[in-house]
Amino acid sequence: MYAGSFPLTRLRRCRKNQFTQALVQENSLQVTDLVYPVFVSEGTQLIRPIATMPGQNCYSIDQLLNVAAECVKLGIPGIALFPNIELAKKDKLASEAYNPQGLIPRAITELKQKFPDLVIFTDVALDPYTLNGHDGITGDANYVLNDITLEILSKQALCHAAAGADFVCPSDMMDGRILKIRQHLEAAGYVNTGILAYSAKYNSNFYGPFREAVGASCNAEKIDKSSYQLNPADANVAMHETFIDIQEGADIVMIKPGLPYLDILYRVKHEFKKPTAAYHVSGEYLMLKHCASFIDYNAAIIEIMLCFKRAGADFIWTYAALDVAKILNKHNHLGELHGKK
Ligand code: PBG
């Protein structure tokens, strides 16, 4: 007989009932673990359903304010803004990306007036603003030019900071972007504007529904971002990218997509111990919504969120944030969590 052998050890003793399970549970999920990504467009009184993302809409700024109010009411601490830019404002050099009167700066200003504490994350990348949907400025053969792109990204980040964004979030995967943006923010006096870096952003098929939503899938053929986003076959390079982003001044790092990349999330959190976010992306959300008649959506989404927590996420960006918050707020007492009836 050795320690740990049956019947001295019966692990089921700690799983006897939900009260015991709750006491020994290692990780937990709270509404404060959520960030809600929202799509914004020009116009007024506009709530346009996004065909590729059931339950998600594109909002004009006045309607966005209602969404923000709901987040605050539910206890969701942050929202991430993504613009749907009309074709007439797109150009080769993405100049609308740093227009101080542009859609995103106006949205930030209005949100901050009404909800000063709600944390606002903004996407720093050029794909909604370029004609070809690439995250940067393209040269010959649609190759994205790194250093020219950095200049535009820095202007975009400054423009968001000036409007009052709490965190600018470079999702472009150019080399050197975090340092460049940090230097520009410091020089302009935005010392308290944070950077959430999409440090390990993979070249994933799961972004398809999002690209439709922001109107960045202008090309009929699939856009190829493999010369800047990470190869899904690689893991060590994600560690290298994250290491560099932290060295360059990232306050928070993010892994994207979510579920297929939990190994990366786990490694990043355990190696660097920095604030770490996971992005449960559009394709993952869509898959779950499509399964809703076969699996219990509410139970499954809570399980997925808990898995992110277990793997090391401090918080999660998810289109299901409102759903999750409502489930958690409704079932906040013992015995009703995790979809157990
Ligand atoms: C663009 C950006 C993308 C997403 C967030 N920012 C798409 C892309 O890289 O093509 C994807 C989010 C999602 O799929 O939910 N820089």
For the segment 1-58, what is each residue's pLDDT rounded down to a tens digit? 566 689 999 999 999 999 999 999 999 999 999 999 999 999 999 999 999 999 999 9
Q: pLDDT digits over 64-121, tens only?
A: 999 999 999 999 999 999 999 999 999 999 999 999 999 999 999 999 999 999 999 9
| Number of structural domains found in the chain | 1
* Residue 10 belongs to some domain of the structure: no
* Residue 17 belongs to some domain of the structure: no
Ligand 1 proximity of 135 Cβ (cutoff 6 Å):
yes
Residue with tokens 């007024």: 44
pLDDT range class, residue 217, cuts 50, 70, 90? low
Task: Please report the pLDDT score of residue 336 as a whole number.
Answer: 53
DSSP state of 125: -
* Residue 132 belongs to some domain of the structure: yes
Task: Please report the pLDDT score of residue 3 as a whole number.
Answer: 62
Ligand 1 proximity of 256 Cβ (cutoff 6 Å):
no
Which residue, by CA, sits nearest to atom 11 of ligand 1?
207
DSSP state of 13: G
Q: What average pLDDT does the chain have?
A: 94
**From the alpha carbon of 285, which atom of ligand 1 is closest?**
15
pLDDT at 332 over 70: no
Task: Please report the pLDDT score of residue 340 as a whole number.
Answer: 44
Backbone angles phi, psi at 75, to 5 degrees: 95, 10
Three-state SS for 275?
Answer: coil
DSSP state of 61: H
Candidate from 127, 156, 282 with most ligand 1 atoms within 8 A of CB, to mutate: 127
326: containing domain: 29-336
Percent of the chain surpassing pLDDT 70? 94
C-alpha 207 to ligand 1 mean position (Å): 6
Asked if 104 contacts 160 with a C-beta cutoff of 8 angstroms, the reply is yes
**Mean pLDDT in residue range 283-301:** 95
* Residue 341 belongs to some domain of the structure: no
Three-state SS for 333?
Answer: coil
**Residue type (1 letter), 289:** K
* Residue 5 belongs to some domain of the structure: no
* Residue 3 belongs to some domain of the structure: no
Ligand 1 proximity of 124 Cβ (cutoff 6 Å):
no
Task: Please report the pLDDT score of residue 1 as a whole number.
Answer: 56
pLDDT at 335 over 60: no
Task: Please report the pLDDT score of residue 215 as a whole number.
Answer: 74
Ligand 1 proximity of 38 Cβ (cutoff 6 Å):
no
CATH number of the domain within which 90 lies: 3.20.20.70
**From the alpha carbon of 123, which atom of ligand 1 is closest?**
6
* Residue 22 belongs to some domain of the structure: no
Task: Please report the pLDDT score of residue 91 as a whole number.
Answer: 96
**Mean pLDDT in residue range 249-267:** 98
Task: Please report the pLDDT score of residue 339 as a whole number.
Answer: 44
Please classify residue 260 by burial: count the beta carbons closer than 10 Å to its beta carbon, then call 0-12 exposed, 13-18 middle and 19+ buried.
middle
* Residue 2 belongs to some domain of the structure: no
